[in-house]
Structure 1
Amino acid sequence: MTNGSGASQQRPARGPGNRRSQPQPRDKRPNEKSTHRDQRNDRGPREPSQPRGPRIPDGVDPAELDPSVINELRTLPEDMRDRVGCLLVAAEWALEDDEPESALEFTKEAKRLAGRVASVREAHGITSYRNARYADALSEFRAVRRMTGDDSFIPMVADCERGLGRPERALDVLKGFRPSDPAVKIEAIIVGAGARGDAGQHEAALVMLDVPELVNGPDTAERLRLRYAYAATLQALERHDEADQWFATVAREDVDGLTDAHTRTTA
């Protein structure tokens, strides 16, 4: 998946006050056949209808999407393809601007328009997750997995179970999961350790986090988060001196401000 929102335009509810003119008895109809046509002509040109859903910011270009997503959207009619693509890019922009609620509105509308496209469901799952709507996110990630067979969402599925207060179920989700992607592997380790911590099993969580990637390998956002989780687990075990050293390491390496490590030391 690669801000402001307007009110949705809704169709008038069907009811007595919104019905079209009822058929009149024959003897009460106007004699002039052109009356209704003349009345229509007097109304002037119609205002162009606005698209339903949130207003997309100026400058949004669906070409910014990942090529694989663009390819998926080609299954849609052209006008809908452009609209959905713009909604997905707008959602990305909103997440980058730390506006997860706006991002959720964009992906909700994208799902309404193209709910059978896996990348759209993925995007809605991510924005639901970012809004702590874990049950909704869980449903979307499961749908994506059914549609694509992609297992890379399993760590997020497990983390949704954690968010719903079900650490044991989160561990069951991760059982036997052996991803080949190094980033997904680290994500699974962090989520699994978090589930252990949720269950009060901090020693077991520390063992899970003590992997070679903790000290070896490239400096990636995933390794930074792994080190942060390790420091937080040490702190939960009241091993404060060790925790402070790890938090200091993370704070020094976290040039993009991805964590709050600089606020976590006890010294």
Structure 2
Amino acid sequence: MKTLSKDNAENVARHLAMAARLIDEDPALAHEHALAASRSAGRVGVVRETVAITAYAVGDFALALRELRTHRRITGSDDQVPLIVDSERGVGKPDRALEEGRAVDRSKLSVPVRVQLAIAMSGARLDLGETERALQELDIPEADPDRAFEWSPALFSARAAVLEELGRDAEAAEWERRAQIAADALDAAAGVADREVIVVEEIELIDDEGGVDVASGVIPTEDLGLDDIEDLGDTSTSADDADVTDADADAVSAGAVDVDEADADSDASTESSAPDEDAR
């Protein structure tokens, strides 16, 4: 197995760090950094993943698909299947998007990835004009309006959008309101220690399984970090190789956050609390 030299590894790490930093404010420049990293470490999974994510962000869905499939082949991970589904939608193939989503064993996906996949599958149904079925795709346990995780704003907003398409305006407005409450709570909780809790009232925000807050196109910049880049090997596969293997995704434990609708826009108080052990 070919190993990256120290200089190359450091160079790749710098480019990946810049891609992660710039993905929201300047996706095109983030993509340039990802491509630069791929020139030095094109057969490393996290590099191909980063190229895919930044390609998606700049609207190059064909490149995103190619890179995502290569990443899946290298790593054996289905963590980016929601982005594969959305990229298929991006190239105008909602039927193929649904096939990709149905091909994975959802029981082997982490909760955040399952939620992202539900949102992407719902979007594909909308593309096909299957509005009722788009709503059914979002009928998952994580859509509990009284308990919100980090992925809840996107999930609630997706549900609101489908309900609006169905002409159910009152329900749509309620889900959009809850999405805003959850988003405000997450903003208020940013930086709070794992065992601290922000108390308000209506929605309990628990982050014991981790999550990725995405909006109808899964761009988890947290995934752009490096693990031991100096030791990453050259596990070669072709960029056109689209073989699929399944892999379990581990859930990540984090702290609990309670949110009060009435005080969502005011200062929140903090107090100590043990992590929620609720298993989904």
- Shorter chain as denominator, the TM-score bin is 0.5 to 0.7
Q: Which of 61, 70, 81 pairs up with 1:143?
A: 70
The Cα of 1:180 is off from its aligned counterpart by 3.3
1:177-188 map, 5 Å: 177=104, 178=106, 179-188=108-117
Q: Which of 177, 187, 210 pairs up with 1:248?
A: 177
Structure-1 separation of matches of 2:31 and 2:60: 10
TM-score, reference length from structure 1: 0.66
Is 1:80–2:80 an aligned residue pair? no
The Cα of 1:217 is off from its aligned counterpart by 8.0
Structure 2 unmatched runs, 5+: 189-212, 216-280
Structure-2 separation of matches of 1:218 and 1:138: 34
The Cα of 1:218 is off from its aligned counterpart by 5.4
Q: Which residue of 1 aligns with 2:50?
A: 123
TM-score, reference length from structure 2: 0.63
Q: Which residue of 2 aligns with 1:93?
A: 21
Question: Which stretch of structure 1 is more off in the superposition, 119-128 or 250-259?
Answer: 250-259
The Cα of 1:165 is off from its aligned counterpart by 1.2
Structure-1 separation of matches of 2:180 and 2:51: 32
The Cα of 1:228 is off from its aligned counterpart by 0.8
1:39-54 map, 5 Å: none
Q: Which residue of 2 aligns with 1:154?
A: 81
- Quick check: which one's helix share is greater? 1
Structure-1 separation of matches of 2:111 and 2:8: 36
Q: Indicate the structure whose relative CO is greater, using CA pairs within 8 Å and at least 6 residues apart.
A: 2
Structure-2 separation of matches of 1:174 and 1:109: 31
Q: Which residue of 2 aligns with 1:214?
A: 143
User: 1:117-159 CA distances to partner (integer Å, 9 max, x unpaired)?
Assistant: 1111111111111111110110000001111111112111111
Structure-1 separation of matches of 2:152 and 2:3: 37
- Quick check: which one's strand share is greater? 2
Question: Which stretch of structure 1 is more off in the superposition, 247-256 or 189-198?
Answer: 247-256
The Cα of 1:198 is off from its aligned counterpart by 0.7
User: 1:77-124 CA distances to partner (integer Å, 9 max, x unpaired)?
Assistant: 11111111101101111124x110110010011111111111111111
Structure 1 unmatched runs, 5+: 1-73, 261-267
One-letter identity of the residue aligned with 1:107: A
User: 1:20-47 CA distances to partner (integer Å, 9 max, x unpaired)?
Assistant: xxxxxxxxxxxxxxxxxxxxxxxxxxxx
User: 1:41-69 CA distances to partner (integer Å, 9 max, x unpaired)?
Assistant: xxxxxxxxxxxxxxxxxxxxxxxxxxxxx
Larger radius of gyration: 1
Residues matched between the structures, number: 187
One-letter identity of the residue aligned with 1:247: E
1:238 alignment partner, SS class: coil
2:148 alignment partner, SS class: coil
